[in-house]
Structure 1
Amino acid sequence: MLERARRKDDTQITFVIPPDRPCGQVSVVGDFNDWQPGAHTLETRPDGTRAVTVALPTSQRYGFRYLAAGDYWFDDDHADDHDGRNSILHT
């Protein structure tokens, strides 16, 4: 799931996954961090979901995926779009 907060100079995107998907460490990787695993690791929130917030320029399109332990890649079912390989986010 994606949560958005528009600010004057950028858009804060919070990437959120449910508590049960999947176990272990998860990071979001994409065009905005040169697909570097571990650059944006999700942290557990009080409600059990895991999330990380990234500030991105507005009016842009980004491909992204989640990467979990064991080289397990997965998409965001609630992304703005999917291109057949990646989840797509529009800021």
Structure 2
Amino acid sequence: MSLGKKFLKSKPICKVTFTVDKELAKDAVTVSLVGEFNGWETGATLLKKQKNGNFSVTLDLETGREYQFRYLIDDTTWISDPAADKYAFSPFGDCDNSVVAL
């Protein structure tokens, strides 16, 4: 898993690429990115499967803040990102939310 960040010079925006490695996704059909930036809607941001088997998506996020997020695999399994900048308590108790800091 990885978080790629590309800060724009002309706007207070960062292009953040969220990637779930094929080893973690295993035989997943769908991987969703769920977080503060999409109202925690489970189907709002789907990652696209790449030729190498990884799943990824790039979002434009406002700089100067932090965003909590998680991945949802096949609408059943929640996972955190081991490459997150830090982690925050999740009220659901199964594991902490990942955080990307911009």
| Structure number with larger C-alpha Rg | 2
Aligned residues: 91
Following TM superposition, by how much is the alpha carbon of 1:55 offset from its aligned partner in structure 2, in angstroms?
Answer: 0.4
Does structure 1 residue 75 correspond to structure 2 residue 80?
yes
Structure 1 portions without partners, runs of 5+: none
Mapped partners of 1:70, 1:62: distance in 2: 21
Structure 2 portions without partners, runs of 5+: 90-95
Does structure 1 residue 90 correspond to structure 2 residue 91?
no
When the two structures are superposed, what TM-score results if normalisation uses the length of structure 2?
A: 0.82
Following TM superposition, by how much is the alpha carbon of 1:67 offset from its aligned partner in structure 2, in angstroms?
Answer: 0.7
Following TM superposition, by how much is the alpha carbon of 1:70 offset from its aligned partner in structure 2, in angstroms?
Answer: 4.1
* Identity across matched positions, percent: 32
- What is the Cα-based RMSD across aligned positions, in Å? 1.2
Structure 1 segments (4+ residues) deviating >6 Å = none
What corresponds to 2:15 in structure 1? 12
What corresponds to 1:2 in structure 2? 3
When the two structures are superposed, what TM-score results if normalisation uses the length of structure 1?
A: 0.92
Mapped partners of 2:73, 2:45: distance in 1: 12
